[in-house]
Structure 1
């Protein structure tokens, strides 16, 4: 039972707020030495070396760099402004444009924090100015900003691909349909909500002649086409088999710099600042990965993995019982801890039982990714909620944000259930 005790000690320390990487490494060292002695960690240098030589994980800093460069090119601002004017005449048009821009930013940057902050600074004041319901506005921005978790190129899909031993390109392809269905569900909800409650999202006054309208369409296309071209280059090269995800991430980084030149935002200072921020994010991910590697080794050697595998593989309901329990566990843990910790600690614990039960790995990975996306929205610790509250006007209360995300959480959970029940519809089995 040492391994199980070790898991709950680590979870308790996470909830208290200790730094994640130190928790995993420290708890593993203490329990590992107590159970097996210092010789347990003799192979730890080889594990570290294998992480350093992992070509799949090289895509993480490159995609992060691409996203940060695009954030600094005012891409989000230009997209939101032009799309807002384009859809403003429709009831709920600003909210719909926010969802569509969120999808484009997800596919071109994949940085959730940057997307939520950008849309919170640009879109929220405009929606409030035109008397949009605060809950609808906040919920739309938070949910749209998290689309980067499931729409490729997603950092979480790269991490899951490495942890589960699945080609990242396969995960990217499998995630496209659930991502589009999620976007469609958001837009449909906004349309239905504004139809039933017109005062919640009034249409913008549009006194435009044809010439002005054509100008707005042209501006919108001008804002959309460059990032769309980058998305096609990055994802198209993967899906066509021309490049691996790691190679396409390098293409994405170069493409982001070219877009910076096009938008006249390029400077060596911008490149330097983007590189520094990339190093900070990447160092955080890899520090957690090193701690998680030590933790999983100690957990396995102290017998925890065998106990969990035996328990999970003998649940009533077989594979479906296991999937229901694991999705519920990930959903609940998502209320309190980050997706990176869940990916590196919880997923390796669940994986042996999933393999034993014959669950298709891509199906399992997409279920986890969709579930982890929900963790960004779930109170009290959903990161998107904090990002938006940090940039929201003082008259927007935390309770408004919490209430606003509830319908979007329900939609995400509903889609997770549909993937669970009808994997064939999504082409996952």
Structure 2
């Protein structure tokens, strides 16, 4: 059988297994092992072992458990409660003010955690009950929480960008800085959408009643405003040593985790239960990531051994004769389609090495391309049928948030994300200005 047909068979088999409900790492690993043994016999059995050894040498992966632990400490110790109350009070008079406050809360959580799962946990436990009590529309609630939590994989310290840096061999500091402005731009566009939507239909998100607003004193407003200093403290404690070269990426992630613990201790909320839940969840998520990456590395080794990467390059550049920008658009479109079925980590380790090589061949900046990839991952988190945040929302929300409601709620926010992706593609300086300014890149 032709090698290109084997590669196509591998990829289609993996997708079919995922559609039937198999675990991501199981589907990827099974296809990789069977293909390796079928193609190279007993020698193919070494690929899994090589993948594990390669994974163990990726020291930046040590940041993963630190960032996850940081997010769960924030969530379980309910350090975000005062922060959310602050946004509630300050934006309450505005139509859709609590939804805007939820987006801003997610931005704050994102600078303390590199994954969307912590944002989802905080949004579902703190924001969702309050939004429902205020009479917000279910579609608005679901869309705001899911879209806002996805900002965690773009705004630094993003774990997805850490993984991309390993694949593309690009500095994490540049990728983090490159993701900051597009992340804030996307959050701003979310807020603009909420403002326009609630202006057209105020019943979707009623403002705080005047009598309740009058009951909040000026002193209370400024007391709550100080709650906003907490995430700033954690972010500065982590990023300043890293960006100044005083600490490595791994060391900076440890500083961030310790800063989150210190904040919980100061607030007298760091209990044994908080520590146990945060540790258990950190272990579960870290092991899940490690299994997926190990399986995906094995799959990628077989895929690359078949020459699939070179075949894709030749197909785009020679067979189709496309211009570089046309190839880039096709790459992003294919990521969006794959994101409906694949985990973002699986996409990164399986497909990204091929596309990174292609982007480099076409002369595109890999830091900029890393931001494009990460925005595409955000969109994939929200796109049916297998968007990661869709199922998290279903698991955490009350029964009245059915899957049809959850699916419909993300549609306008996905359009906003696509608009952000197009803006960053057309104007690369949106992503590249900050690393150029700060690092003199």
Matched with 1:71 is 75
3-state secondary structure, aligned to 2:382: coil
Matched with 1:400 is 405
The RMSD of aligned alpha carbons is 2.1
Q: Which of residues 239, 244, 259 in structure 2 aligns to 1:240?
A: 244
Matched with 1:332 is 337
Distance 1:96 1:306, change over 3 A: same
Q: How is 1:171-182 mapped onto 2 (pairs within 5 angstroms)? A: 171-182=175-186
Q: Which of residues 341, 346, 358 in structure 1 aligns to 2:351?
A: 346
Q: How is 1:6-405 mapped onto 2 (pairs within 5 angstroms)? A: 6-42=10-46, 45-207=49-211, 212-314=216-318, 315-405=320-410
Distance 1:121 1:9, change over 3 A: same
Residue 150 of structure 1, CA deviation: 0.6
Matched with 2:439 is none
Residue 73 of structure 1, CA deviation: 1.3
The Cα offsets for residues 263-297 of structure 1, whole Å up to 9 and x where unpaired, read as 21223443243222212111111111111111111
The Cα offsets for residues 336-369 of structure 1, whole Å up to 9 and x where unpaired, read as 2211111111112222222221221111111000
Q: Does residue 414 of structure 2 align to residue 409 of structure 1?
A: yes
- Contiguous gaps of at least 5 residues in structure 1: none
Distance 1:50 1:402, change over 3 A: closer
- 2-side partners of 1:384 and 1:45: how far apart? 32
- Contiguous gaps of at least 5 residues in structure 2: 437-441
- 2-side partners of 1:356 and 1:135: how far apart? 43
**Greater mean deviation of Cα atoms: 306-315 or 279-288:** 306-315
- 1-side partners of 2:31 and 2:139: how far apart? 41
Q: Check the 8 A contact 2:182/2:430 in 1, yes or no.
A: no
3-state secondary structure, aligned to 1:132: coil
- 2-side partners of 1:113 and 1:398: how far apart? 18
- 2-side partners of 1:47 and 1:373: how far apart? 27
**Greater mean deviation of Cα atoms: 144-153 or 230-239:** 230-239
3-state secondary structure, aligned to 1:336: coil
Q: Check the 8 A contact 2:91/2:100 in 1, yes or no.
A: yes
The Cα offsets for residues 2-44 of structure 1, whole Å up to 9 and x where unpaired, read as 2332222222222222222232222222212222222245465
- Aligned positions, number: 429
The Cα offsets for residues 181-205 of structure 1, whole Å up to 9 and x where unpaired, read as 0111011111111222222222111
The Cα offsets for residues 88-113 of structure 1, whole Å up to 9 and x where unpaired, read as 11211111101100111111123422
Q: TM-score, normalised by structure 1?
A: 0.93
